[in-house]
Amino acid sequence: MKREQAAIALLLLLLAIALWNIHHADFLTDQLEENLLRSERALSRGDRDMALTALDNALSLWQRSRGYTGVFFRHPDVDAASDAFYELQQLLLQRDAEGIEAAYERLRYHLDTLDDMEHLSWGTVF
């Protein structure tokens, strides 16, 4: 009976961690995308410095979360999102307008993918 109780407790603990993980992945990607949106809006107003500051905020949050992302996400997906961050930062620093919209979209796509992969759906399970 004790073994069964321990098994139920372990399953409940794993499910609780899984639910926390879904919530935390949502929270993290929402914060990153908020900064990304702020950066994009600033750029559309012509305020490139503000756009860069907002992106740097997002990047620093992303780097601080490396411990979490390394444990819970597949490493190639984390690397792809990091690459997209640095690519966008480089375009902003170069004051190069060409391809910048696509770079924002690419980064947003990678962050959405990371978040989607933690959500239970027919697509992700099967």
Partner 1 sequence: MAIVITRTFIVYFALLLTMRLMGKRQLGEMELSEFVVAALIADLAAHPLQDMGIPLLNGLVPIAVLFCCEVLIAGLSLRSIRLRELLFGKPSLLIVKGEIDQAQMRRNRFTLDELMQELRSQGVTDIRMIEYAVLETDGKLSLLLSPAASPVTASQLDLPQGNAGYPHIVISDGRVLEANLRHLGLDAAWLDNTLREQGYASPAEVYLMTVDEGKAFFLARKEATIA
| Binding positions for partner 1, rule: CB under 8 A | 1, 3-4, 6-8, 10-11, 14-15, 17-19, 21-22, 70-76, 117-120, 124-125
Shortest Cβ distance from residue 22 to partner 1 (Å)?
Answer: 6
- Helix (H), strand (E) at residue 24: helix 2-44
CA distances to 17, 35, 62 from 118, rounded to whole Å, are: 12, 21, 17
39 in Cβ contact with 52 (< 8 Å) = yes
Biggest CA pair distance of the chain = 67
Tell me whether residue 21 or residue 57 sits nearer to partner 1 (CB atom). Answer: 21
* Closest CB to partner 1 among residues 49, 121: 121
Output the smallest distance, CB 21 to partner 1, in A.
5
Output the smallest distance, CB 15 to partner 1, in A.
7
User: Among residues 6 and 93, whose Cβ is nearest to partner 1?
Assistant: 6
Residues 17, 118: Cα–Cα separation, whole Å = 12
